[in-house]
Amino acid sequence: MSPSARRRTPDTGDAAGEAVIEPSLGKALVALKPYLAEFPGRLTLALALLFVAKIAGVWLPQVLKNLVDALTPKDGAVLIVPAALLLAYGGFRFLNVLLGELRDLVFGKVAERAQRRAALKVFEHLHRLDLDFHLSRRTGALSRDIERGVDGISFLLRFLTFNIVPTLFEIALVAGILWQQYDVRFAAIAAISVVLYVGFSIVVTEWRTRFVREANTMDSKANTRAIDALLNYETVKYFGNERWEAKRYDDSMAAWEKATSRNRQSLSALNTGQALIVAGSITAMMWLAAREVTVGAMTVGGFVAVNAYMIQLFVPLNFLGFVYREIRRALTDMQKMFGLMDRVPQVVDASGAQPPLRTGSSPQVRFDDLQFGYSTSRPILRGVSFTIAPGEKVAVVGASGAGKSTLARLLFRFYDPQGGAIRIDGVDLRAMPQDALRALIGVVPQDTVLFNDTIEYNIAYGRPGASRAEVERAARLAHLESFIARLPQGYDTPVGERGLKVSGGEKQRIAIARALLKDPPILILDEATSSLDSSAEAAILDALQAATERRTTLVIAHRLSTITDADRIVVLDQGRVIEQGRHPQLLALGGVYAGLWNLQLREQGDAAR
Ligand SMILES: Nc1ncnc2c1ncn2[C@@H]1O[C@H](COP(=O)(O)OP(=O)(O)OP(=O)(O)O)[C@@H](O)[C@H]1O
Ligand SMILES: [Mg+2]
């Protein structure tokens, strides 16, 4: 891919909420197909059960008619209890329900598996998406969108297979029986009312969709605000802004309330309209049947059966209205999730990407005329070139915002550069699979965030499956053991959400421990000891010194005293390398680095005084 094609657009600040066209039913069907194909046996059995249940249901009014006629006094004849018919009636009723339950039993697993698969697919996709997406996402809205989307899939699956087609089949069956048994006029009334009902339902449901969408948006927004405020609990307290946060949350909830109540009102309108059509058609049909009975063309049993058929017709039709409405809703709900799934990661593996041949030994890393900006309007790196020889330790220094961490992110391939390249042993990063590249690199990031789990879990994260002994060794190297020994729960101490229950320095040492546990040939230390006091820092630097000996290392540091032993120091300014060399060389040069060094010396002197 050409560098210009990878240019990213300026951040819109809402990665998960871009305008997405609502997924069509066709698209949804394509998405559902693999889930249905997973259990062909269950699907067939469930459909068979369904059709048998429908046929049993269609016989009910017929049995009812015979019952009523048997009980209607004919001149002189003695009435007897029609036992067989009564039993048949009860049997058919029970069968109808039983078959429905059996069907749910058989099909339930298909829907649940689909939910599980869909959720996993989204989860995996989220991890494939680039850092840019994740930096601009809104966690609260995202989780709600996914939740709704996954539910939508399961819903569509259940209802598309079991309602639309079978209900149409049932309606056709009933209309056919009405025509064949009674009169074409009955069938005509049935047909007209079905058309009216369906037409009305479609038009009104389409109109309602935007209320559903609005309610969804408001729900996601309120959730975003709630999660954001909770994540910033401390900040809220520092500034005494509980009321302000409550107000913001309540504003979102008020908008949600309004949207949801409009949604409900429109639903009421739909239901009322549908009921009117049903009542009208049943009245027309009964009117016709009553006239037939008065002229002797129809028995009372026939009258009862026609009524039963109409109900038999409208129950599924009503259901169809409900299902259509819910399908529209499911599609609306799935809109965001489909949008998410359609999002292409900015950083992708090139076709034919080859894992680097020799790993194990420490590789060479070369930054070659690197040009990069997070947005096109603001370049951060403008032609950065330097090399880290195998096993060498190179330090990058520069003002805050100079692009040091950006360099590390590019080496880890969180982003692709717009110009130039980074090569490991001469191979462009873009020509390697991302997982192979990332397996080579261990990072101690500038800001460490921990998983809300135990200390052991967080250290072992460096290499899942590492033994307790290995975890302890890494903890020892990172000078964590005395801290852990003092904890009542030791390694099993929970660190809290994002690791906020351990101190900044402890968090940083956990990050060092897990990077050491990963034991990678390339190491990136981004201000890895910035939160430590001087004595802890000195101790860890010793440990890191040992750890970085055999590794190709990129160190980023503000405190220059921590990098005087580097094989080379690169000074970054305004996106360019302005000086590079060993510590004594740079001092002798008397440039920016020497100035910074003297400044820090003086500060240290002041502090010591
Ligand atoms: N995801 C991003 N989107 C847009 N701009 C960003 C992003 N990340 C960083 N920047 C900007 O890029 C510039 C370089 O950031 P970088 O994190 O590389 O700085 P740094 O040299 O590591 O600074 P510090 O010493 O403070 O850590 C900064 O001005 C920052 O505001
Ligand atoms: Mg930084």
The helix (H) or strand (E) run that includes residue 393 is strand 393-398
- The confidence score (pLDDT) of residue 248 equals 92
Q: Is 446 near ligand 1, meaning CB less than 6 Å away?
A: yes
Residue 22 pLDDT: 60
Phi, psi of 9 (to 5 degrees): -85, 155
Per-residue model confidence as pLDDT tens digits over 306-321: 888 888 777 777 777 7
* 4-13, 77-86, 149-158: least confident range: 4-13
Q: Say what the pLDDT of residue 273 is.
A: 92
Residue 445 CB less than 6 A away from ligand 1: no
Note the pLDDT of residue 10: 36
Distance 558 CA to ligand 1 centre (A): 15
**CATH code, domain with 106:** 1.20.1560.10
Flag whether 89 is in a domain: yes
Angstrom distance (rounded) from CA 255 to CA 250: 8
Tell me, using a 6 A CB cutoff, whether residue 246 lines ligand 1.
no
Same domain, 331 and 377: no
360 within a domain of the structure (yes/no):
no
User: Ligand 1, from 380, 400, 530: best to mutate by most atoms within 8 Å of Cβ?
Assistant: 380
Q: How confident is the model at residue 11 (pLDDT cuts 50, 70, 90)?
A: very low
Please tell me whether residues 297 and 431 are part of one structural domain. no
Q: Are residues 370 and 268 in the same domain?
A: no
How far apart are alpha carbons 397 and 593 in whole angstroms?
8
- Which of 386, 370, 355 has the alpha carbon at shortest distance from 552? 386
Q: What is the pLDDT of residue 5?
A: 37
Q: Are residues 114 and 81 in the same domain?
A: yes
Which of 12, 135, 374, 415 best tests ligand 1's pocket when mutated (most atoms within 8 Å of CB)?
374
CATH number assigned to the domain comprising residue 401: 3.40.50.300
Q: Give the span between the Cα atoms of 585 and 319, in whole angstroms.
A: 82
Q: Say whether both 328 and 370 belong to one domain.
A: no
Residue 384, ligand 1, Cβ within 6 A: no
Pairing of strands 568-573, 576-581: antiparallel
Q: What domain range includes position 50?
A: 22-342
Flag whether pLDDT at 609 surpasses 70. Answer: no
Domain match, 256 and 372 both: no
What pLDDT is stored for residue 358 in this prediction?
62
pLDDT of 498 over the 60 cut: yes
pLDDT in tens, 278-332: 889 889 988 988 998 898 888 888 888 888 888 877 777 777 777 777 888 788 7
The answer to the question of residue 468 being in a domain is: no
Residue 144 lies in a domain: yes
How much of the chain exceeds pLDDT 70, in percent? 94
Q: Which of 82-86, 185-189, 598-602 has the highest mean pLDDT?
A: 598-602
| pLDDT range class, residue 459, cuts 50, 70, 90 | very high
The two three-digit tokens of residue 517, written as one number: 């546990």
Candidate from 84-98, 214-228, 537-551 with smallest mean pLDDT: 537-551
308 and 440 inside one domain: no
Burial of 443 (0-12, 13-18, 19+ CB in 10 A): buried
Look at the pTM and tell me if it is higher than 0.85.
no
pLDDT at residue 360 in the model: 58
Does residue 520's CB lie within 6 angstroms of at least one atom of ligand 1?
Answer: no
What CA–CA distance (Å, rounded) separates 482 from 113? 47
Residue closest by Cα to atom 28 of ligand 1: 401
Q: Please return the burial class of 485, using the count of CB atoms within 10 Å of its CB with bins 0-12, 13-18 and 19+.
A: exposed
Of the given ranges (16-30, 101-115, 213-227), which has the lowest mean pLDDT? 16-30
Q: Are residues 374 and 331 in the same domain?
A: no
Phi-psi bin for 174: left (phi > 0), alpha (psi -120 to 50), beta? Answer: alpha
- From atom 30 of ligand 1, which residue's Cα is the shortest distance away? 401
Read off the amino acid at residue 528.
A
Decide whether any atom of ligand 1 lies within 6 Å of the 402 Cβ: yes
Report the share of the chain in percent with pLDDT over 90.
28
Distance in angstroms (rounded) separating the CA atoms of residues 112 and 116: 6
Q: What is the pLDDT of residue 312?
A: 76
Give residue 166's pLDDT: 74
Q: Are residue 140 and residue 216 in the same domain, yes or no?
A: yes
Maximum pairwise Cα distance, the chain: 130
Give the residue from 282, 307, 342 where a domain finishes: 342
Is 380 a pocket residue for ligand 1 (Cβ < 6 Å)?
Answer: yes
Q: Is the domain of 385 the same as that of 265? A: no
Residue at 604 is within a domain: yes
Give 427 or 79, the one with higher predicted confidence.
427
* Residue 524, ligand 1, Cβ within 6 A: no
pLDDT tens string 109-122? 888 888 888 889 88
pLDDT band, very low/low/confident/very high, at 359 (cuts 50, 70, 90)? low
Nearest CA to ligand 1 atom 9: 406
Query: How many Å apart are CA 53 and CA 519, to the nearest integer?
Result: 63
The reply to whether 172 falls in a domain is: yes
DSSP code per residue over 83-111: HHHHHHHHHHHHHHHHHHHHHHHHHHHHH
Residue 261 confidence (pLDDT) above 90: yes
Q: In the predicted model, what is the mean pLDDT of residues 250-257?
A: 92
Last residue of a domain, one of 286, 311, 342: 342
The ligand that comes nearest to the alpha carbon of residue 572 is 1
CA of 407 to the centre of ligand 1 (A): 10
Kindly state if the Cβ of 374 falls inside 6 Å of ligand 1: yes
184 and 319 share a domain?
Answer: yes
In a domain, 272, yes or no: yes
Closest CA to 125 of 342, 352, 430: 342
Nearest CA to ligand 1 atom 7: 374
Final residue belonging to a domain, choices 308, 342, 376: 342
Q: 140 and 49 in one domain?
A: yes
Strand partners, 150: none
**Residue 172's CB: how many other CB atoms inside 10 A?**
12
pLDDT in tens, 464-481: 888 999 999 999 988 888
- Is the dihedral angle over the CA atoms 22, 26, 27, 31 positive or is it negative? positive
Which ligand is in closest contact with the Cα of 400? 1
Average pLDDT, the chain: 84
Tell me the average pLDDT across 211-222: 86
Overall domain count for the chain: 2
User: How far is residue 305's CA from residue 65's CA, in Å, rounded to a whole number?
Assistant: 5
d(CA 72, CA 436): 84
Domain contains 465: no
